[in-house]
Amino acid sequence: MDHSARPRNVRPRLLLASATMLFVELALIRWTGANIVHLSYFSNFILLGSFLGIGLGFLIPAGRGQWLPRWAPVPLAVLVVLVREFPVQVRQTSGEVIYFTAVKTTGLPQWVTLPILFGLAALIMTAIGKMTADLFRQLPSLEAYRYDLLGSLCGSLSFAALSWLRAPSVVWGVLAAAALLVLGGRHHTVRYAVPLAVMVAALTLESMASGISWSPYYKIEVKRPTTGSRDYKISANGVPHQSIAPLKVLRRSDSPYEEPYRETPANPHRRVLVIGAGNGNDVAVALAHGARRVDAVEIDPRLREIGADLHPDRPYDDPRVHVHIDDGRAFLERTDARYDLVVLALPDSLTLVAGASNLRLESYLFTRQAFEAAHRHLAPGGAFAMYNYYRQNWLIDRYGSTLAGVFGHAPCITHYGGKKAAILVAGVTPGDQRCGSTWRPSGKVPAAATDDHPFPYLLHRTIPSLYLGVLGAILLVTMVSVRLTGVRIRRTLKYTDMFLLGAAFMLLETKNVIGFALYFGTTWLVNAVVFAGVMLAVLCGVEARRRMRRVNQPALQLLLFATLAVSWLVPTHLVLGLPFAARLAAAIALAFAPIFCANVIFSDRLAAAPDPTAAFGANLLGALTGGTLEYLALVTGYQALLLVVALLYAGACVAMRFTRRAPGSPGPVEQRTAEPTARP
């Protein structure tokens, strides 16, 4: 292609298209999870749908599928209107895994709901992916990849900034609409304007609704008390989550808030740590019992603000209260303080950590290592307490057994509101607790959750049948979609190595997200920093490859496997025990060194590809497959994912030896530019 004939604005348009692609993907995950009851437990399926769509957008040949960019905003508007006007729910009944919710669903079964949502998300992202791919083709492959990464980084940081500002959904919609209008150009202005206006109107109505606000994690709704009641009700993502009650209600004889104090009568309760402080109920009770200092840890700043504004006893105004907007486990690992009482106060998050298969925001609070950390922070004569409506006896037994193992004796247990709601209180010594009844197993006790297998709500080390069915359907839909879009399977086989590189990279990224969540907390900020760091590491790999005259593939592959081996051999507890600065340095080195090496290899292969967009599309479909392989962690734990990553990279290296030598392939340094109208 004659580079001088290329439109001058292709680079900024590619930057905008890539930013829009990632921004819309993140917005879809957040918005659908906030408006579809229980979808926040399945947000990874929207992510997989996005990978499918983007991959198809890149695989569709340049001369085909032009109707997709022409009608790009239509499926986006359909999804928003469908969810807003026809309430959709995902039923979450399962005997294999617990979902914390009190909502009785009335929607269609998940085998109907999830495919519809998956299909719409895939169609939306296929259209935007097609726009991006058509621009990608007009630049040398590594230069195009550079602008794609820069755009993705901009999209990710933009959405992170909106999360920090707690912007309502209409702001997301307006920004996405403006970007799509620019990408559509003048000849599509009317065709784009109508569906985008419908979408923005629907989001405006949502944002203007009474009592609605957004936090970095949830769409929050506050319902004012009815006549004769002083309790405010707080819903998160459509599910009842918390209630604000006055002290006279919180301190009734049947209240779970009082039980930790009743069962530790000799405890002075001078210094109290509340993890999951929320709207302030537990903080108010601690103050009422004479606490001289209360450290209130809450991950969601909006929930703390609601409590500060609406709680009748104003606990957050008390100078004895010190608020920490942080992840509870991260706070425990960082503080040197010791407490008379540590309370896990209903920390059930109702949502997953972004980019992780089944890790919830609070999962690392309920591992054996977390209970050991709490035990280390207890003063002599201190006690640890946790309570919730646990829903299953086996979950109560799991926690009771873990506490017994950590403290060396059985904890107190008090049931309230039925046998499946319980308060567990464990003193440093048996004499530091006074039990009405002591925990005894009700049956076979499941193994404790651990930092490597942080799934306390999963009964056995298995992939629940619900997940297996949906993941199988996703893979089937993927194969059918690839064929229906006119992509020749034989055309993509020569990019088997790129497919495997994508699958390995997705698993490696997930492992890094999980690692940073353990080391520094499951907060949205940590998550955003990790994703930005991954993109920067990838970008550094691309820039390093652009400056190399020649790549020694065997040496680079050896370095990749060496960095993976180091990540495998270094135990997480060793990193977790380091001071903050050393822990950060170790986490960065362990996480990003393999990513850098892998992406120099990937960039070298992309530069040699005769059809870079097809290679990139195969890589994205590999990422989708890697997203399904994430669920292996439910069986193996997260550290074992590194073995799967190594096997996938080994397969890619073997496949690369055949594909790079294929007839007609360019040399290792040449960067090809495909004609925009080229056929496969």
pLDDT tens digits for range 85-134? 776 666 655 566 666 665 555 656 666 677 788 889 999 999 999 999 99
- Is the distance from CB of 622 to CB of 506 less than 8 angstroms? yes
pLDDT at 477: 82
Q: Is residue 566 very low, low, confident or very high in pLDDT (cuts 50, 70, 90)?
A: very high
- Is the distance from CB of 130 to CB of 509 less than 8 angstroms? no
**From start to end of 469-565, where are the E strands?**
none
pLDDT at 225: 73
Asked if pLDDT for residue 223 goes beyond 90, the answer is no
The pairing of beta strand 321-325 with beta strand 293-298: parallel
The CA distance from 306 to 326, in Å, is 17
Element housing 421 (H / E): strand 421-427
Percent of the chain with pLDDT over 90: 58
pLDDT at 575: 93
Percent of the chain with pLDDT over 70: 88
The pairing of beta strand 421-427 with beta strand 378-389: antiparallel
Asked if pLDDT for residue 436 goes beyond 70, the answer is yes
Contacts of 667 (CB under 8 A, 6+ apart): 608
153 or 106, which is more confident: 153
- Spell 580-591 as b/e; 16+ CB within 10 A means b: eeebeebbeebb
pLDDT tens digits for range 270-316? 999 999 999 999 999 999 999 999 999 999 999 999 999 999 999 99
Average pLDDT, whole number, for the chain?
87
Q: Sign (positive/negative) of CA torsion 142, 148, 151, 155?
A: negative
pLDDT at 314: 95
pLDDT tens digits for range 33-87? 888 776 666 667 788 888 889 999 998 888 788 888 999 999 999 999 988 877 6
The CA distance from 17 to 37, in Å, is 31
pLDDT tens digits for range 450-497? 999 999 988 899 988 878 887 888 788 888 887 777 666 666 678 899
3-class secondary-structure state, position 371: helix
pLDDT at 673: 40
As a whole number, mean pLDDT of residues 168-195 equals 93
Asked if pLDDT for residue 520 goes beyond 80, the answer is yes
As a whole number, mean pLDDT of residues 326-352 equals 89
pLDDT at 380: 95
3-class secondary-structure state, position 340: strand
3-class secondary-structure state, position 382: strand
pLDDT at 2: 41
Q: Sign (positive/negative) of CA torsion 228, 229, 235, 241?
A: negative
As a whole number, mean pLDDT of residues 309-333 equals 95
Q: Is residue 228 very low, low, confident or very high in pLDDT (cuts 50, 70, 90)?
A: low
Asked if pLDDT for residue 144 goes beyond 80, the answer is yes
pLDDT at 101: 63
For tokens 């820069």, what's the residue?
A: 150
427 or 102, which is more confident: 427
pTM of the shown model: 0.88
Beta-sheet strand order (sheet of 339-345) = 321-325, 293-298, 271-275, 339-345, 378-389, 421-427, 412-415
Give which of 80, 72, 88, 85 is closest to 203, Cα–Cα: 80
Return the structure tokens found at 673: 């530019």
**Measured torsion, CA atoms of residues 642, 648, 651, 653, in degrees rounded to the nearest 10:** -80
Integer Rg of the chain from CA: 26
Asked if pLDDT for residue 623 goes beyond 80, the answer is yes
Asked if pLDDT for residue 354 goes beyond 70, the answer is no
pLDDT at 66: 86
